[in-house]
Amino acid sequence: MGAVAFLASTSCTVAQHKYWTANEQPATYRAGEVRKAEKPRAAAEIRKRAAFARMHSPAAPKEKEHRLILQVNTNDPAAMNLSLNNATNVAEYYKGLGEKVKIEVVTFGPGLHMLRDDTSPVKARIEEMALSAPEVSFKACGNTQEKMQKAENKPIPIIKQAEVVKSGVVRVIELQEKGWTYVKP
């Protein structure tokens, strides 16, 4: 009976010391068992501190900026309006999340009519967007503009909200190489 009482009291003593730290443990308690019990708590504390440090560090990674290319290469008002709808919807979505977004509408070929001052069926809508959605920009293909000028034997005016780039296709390639997402509505 004495042996049973001794074993029972020893088991209770060990059970009571299961969560002691290394500094508090009795000399008879095995240090390896204490360390195993403390590792998850210590690791969690380290993760919390590291996350807190990243939040307040000037070298912390910056918020991701979403970047979208919308291509227009057809003289179809429905396609032009669809690309403007897409740009508006994406801009509003990320604004609602409090996240940054850049959207570039790139036109070339027959799609240049979207940005022509004399033929654009969506000119008024682009003018409104330029005021309400500065994260949306418009690029006109310079190669297409030159070819249209030769074919029509007159200057091809581009709306003031657009910027002429040397090549619309090259612009799309370069943006994709920089990680932009490409969509052809």
Report pTM.
Answer: 0.66
Q: Residue written as tokens 């799309």?
A: 172
What was the pLDDT predicted at 119? 96
What was the pLDDT predicted at 64? 80
Q: Give the tokens for residue 104.
A: 């570039």
From CA 48, how far away is CA 45, in angstroms rounded?
5
What was the pLDDT predicted at 63? 72
To the nearest 10°, report the CA torsion of 140, 144, 145, 147. Answer: 180
Mean pLDDT by 10 residues, the chain (185 residues): 47 45 48 51 60 50 83 97 97 94 98 97 96 96 98 97 97 96 90
CA-nearest of 129, 123, 110 to 71 is: 110
